[in-house]
Amino acid sequence: DTGVSQNPRHKITKRGQNVTFRCDPISEHNRLYWYRQTLGQGPEFLTYFQNEAQLEKSRLLSDRFSAERPKGSFSTLEIQRTEQGDSAMYLCASSSLAGGYNEQFFGPGTRLTVL
Amino acid sequence: DQQVKQNSPSLSVQEGRISILNCDYTNSMFDYFLWYKKYPAEGPTFLISISSIKDKNEDGRFTVFLNKSAKHLSLHIVPSQPGDSAVYFCAASAGNQFYFGTGTSLTVIP
């Protein structure tokens, strides 16, 4: 297990289409986070899971966004009816109790471009 | 509302000298602070952290200082190396949410 992986790395879509991203965390990590990063900004928290339970959601996560982690392993982030303002880098991170949950390991991100 | 601020978008330092990256925060409830390093086309990588009960944490060439009264933390890199050239983000947590600054791009000149 070499780290957190995210697929796809790049996604270009037309406005109004639905997109889904996948994140595979480090296998023994039971917490998984989604962040969004726009140009010139730091990562912004979207949501996080403890195992399969989604425990917190940011107000940034509109009703067009949904995240799942059905078996407590990989997670998906779906954006419905994409808008140009959704264009960003979507980062996934995972952490474990061994690291006090504070040390998050990030994936390389999925860059979304909405035309 | 930007709860964690990095007011210097960029910093250039000569190799071998000290790099000092600064970060300010507004939320007194933050209890844990972290620094991440990011190379292009990669996700952020954890560098060093500090709990709010401490005022200094050191790990090799990296030292983080926390001044709670000023709501300020800094990252010192000594000596700076060309491989340290990257974007550095500070982050803070209160509970399970993490708030990141906008980053400082460090360039270490050989």
Q: What is the overall mean pLDDT for chain A?
A: 93
Q: List the 39-58 stretch of A: residues with Cβ below 8 A of B.
A: 40-45, 48, 55-56, 58
Q: With contact defined as beta carbons under 8 Å apart, do A99 and A50 qualify? A: no
Q: What is the pLDDT along chain B (110 residues), one digit of tens a residue?
A: 789 999 999 999 999 999 999 999 999 999 999 999 999 888 999 999 999 999 999 999 999 999 999 999 999 999 999 999 999 999 999 888 899 999 999 999 99
Question: What are the tens digits of pLDDT across the range A39-93?
Answer: 889 999 999 999 999 998 888 888 999 999 998 899 999 999 999 999 999 999 9
pLDDT at A114: 97
pLDDT at A74: 96
pLDDT at B96: 82
B35: left (phi over 0), alpha (psi -120 to 50) or beta: beta
- B32 close to A (CB below 8 A): yes
Furthest CA-CA distance within chain A: 42
- The Cα–Cα gap between A54 and A50 comes to 7
Contact B96 A103 (CB under 8 A): no
CB-nearest partner of B34 from A44, A102, A109? A102
- The Cα–Cα gap between A8 and A43 comes to 19
Kindly state the tokens that stand for A26. Answer: 């480090």
Contact A106 B43 (CB under 8 A): yes
Q: Minimal CA–CA distance to A46: which of B73, B9, B99, B36?
A: B99
Contact B44 A91 (CB under 8 A): yes
Percent of chain A at pLDDT above 70? 99
pLDDT at A61: 84
- B23 close to A (CB below 8 A): no
- The Cα–Cα gap between B5 and B48 comes to 18
What is the nearest CA distance from A83 to chain B, expressed in angstroms? 23
CB atoms within 10 A of CB A80: 14
The DSSP annotation for B16-60 comes to TS-EEEEEEE--TT--EEEEEEE-TTS--EEEEEEETT-SEEEET
Q: With contact defined as beta carbons under 8 Å apart, do A6 and A109 qualify? A: yes
Is the pLDDT confidence value at A1 over 70? no
Q: Give contacts of A106 with chain B, Cβ < 8 Å.
A: 36, 43-45
Q: Give contacts of B96 with chain A, Cβ < 8 Å.
A: 48, 55-56, 101
